[in-house]
Amino acid sequence: MDHILADIEKYRDQFYRFVLRTVWDSSIAEDVFASAVLTAFENRERFTPGTNFRAWMFKILVNKCFVANRETKRWRDTLSEDAADSVAVEDLPALADVVKDPQSFLEQCGEEVYQALRRLSTAQRTCILLKDVERFSYQDIADMLGMPVGTVMTNLARGRAALRRELVEYARKNGIVRPAPILISRTENGARQTQGA
């Protein structure tokens, strides 16, 4: 019994941060977090010792956040496939470092990132936070959200594309990503020719 509360306390900051970034209102986040802790405690016999406690608790948190967002009408429309596919990492090679290390990127960013995250659908935002920030596997996320792995991957791809599209200029202006290099070549008659990306 006490191990559940001890584990909750151990990961308290991670759990609360996730709730706050999912419901976006500190007064609601407090209630959602408290409700999740109560639910975990009341259902402690359902947790199998030796299994992944964080994944079990995140499943409870996700459910509580979805309910809170539904009750406060914070659902977002999903992105169309055209919008999601409009910016690819290959098209913006300077973003490769951000994709490889999103936590470092998030630590350097301010309000713009949080506003961009807010504009994502709840499913996209949740998948991104669970995968890129909390480092859960695709299968763990699918189990937590009760959706197929392919749907998790789709939500991640569309959410990441939307964030890239919204934040690329912000990242360049703040030195988070480097601008694409300008290449100088010579034409057949020896004149210099500038090629930029």
Quote the tokens at residue 38: 């109560």
- Which residue in 28, 41, 9 sits closest to 71, CA to CA? 28
Statement: residue 181 has pLDDT above 90: no
Residue type, position 161, single letter: A
Which of 42-46, 71-75, 90-94, 111-115 has the lowest average pLDDT? 90-94
All domains in the chain, ordered by first residue: 2-71 (1.10.1740.10), 81-178 (1.10.10.10)
Q: Are 19 and 29 in contact (CB under 8 A)?
A: yes
Contact 36, 64 (CB under 8 A): yes
**What would the mean pLDDT of 134-160 be, rounded to a whole number?**
89
Percentage of residues of the chain with pLDDT beyond 70: 69
Instruction: Name the pLDDT band for 76 (thresholds 50, 70, 90).
Output: very low
Least confident segment among 56-65, 133-142, 155-164, 188-197: 188-197
**What is the mean pLDDT of the segment spanning 117-127?**
85
pLDDT at 90 over 70: no
Please, which pLDDT band fits residue 92 given cuts at 50, 70 and 90? very low
**Helix, strand, coil % (nearest 5) of the chain?**
70, 5, 25
Instruction: Choose between 83 and 178: higher pLDDT.
Output: 178
Q: What pLDDT, on a 0 to 100 scale, did the predictor assign at position 77?
A: 37
The mean pLDDT of the chain is: 76
| Sequence letter at residue 109 | C
For 98-190, strand residue ranges (E) read 182-186
Taking phi over 0 as left and psi of -120 to 50 as alpha, with beta for the rest, 159 belongs to alpha
Measured in degrees and rounded to the nearest 5, phi and psi for residue 77 equal: -70, 145
The amino acid that residue 58 corresponds to is F
Structure tokens at 58: 């995140």
Indicate the SS3 state at residue 82.
helix
Regarding beta strands 182-186 and 192-196, do their DSSP bridges make them parallel or antiparallel, or are they unpaired?
A: antiparallel
pLDDT of residue 186: 62
* Nearest CA among 53, 58, 52 for reference residue 18: 58
- Rounded percentage of the chain residues whose pLDDT exceeds 90: 17
CA 9, 132, 126 angle in degrees (round to 5)?
75
* C-alpha to C-alpha distance for 33 and 39, rounded to whole angstroms: 10
pLDDT for position 156: 92
One-letter identity of residue 54? R
